[in-house]
């Protein structure tokens, strides 16, 4: 399983992710609920640190930040139409 997919699952799955933004050396992920986040699953070799605050989980990924964030965004955006809202996967009416 790839890093991006493992992180998505540990963050509570696609349905728990509101937004993913690379920010310098970290990936800032807005989640619907922190209760769905499995922090142990976020502790991968590519992730240097995890910071949780409010509705956000920040993953410090160093030089791999852009690459991992782009992969996560593309995987989360591939949600069937009408099942997501927000910046990552806009809800589309059929």
Enter the tokens of residue 67: 């690459």
Q: Distance between alpha carbon 8 and the CA centroid of its chain, in Å?
A: 5
Enter the tokens of residue 47: 């992730």
Catalytic, 23? Answer yes
23, 38, 49, 92: the active-site residue: 23
Q: Which residues are marked as active site?
A: 23
């Amino acid at each position: 399983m790839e890093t991006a997919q493992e992180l998505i699952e540990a963050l509570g799955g696609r349905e728990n992710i509101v937004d993913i933004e690379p920010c310098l050396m970290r990936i800032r992920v807005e989640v619907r609920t922190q209760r769905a986040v499995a922090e142990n699953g976020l502790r991968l070799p590519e992730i240097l640190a995890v910071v949780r605050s409010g509705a956000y989980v920040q993953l410090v990924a160093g030089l791999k930040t852009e690459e991992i964030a782009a992969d996560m965004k593309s995987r989360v955006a591939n949600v069937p139409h009408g099942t997501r809202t927000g910046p990552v996967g806009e809800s589309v009416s059929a």
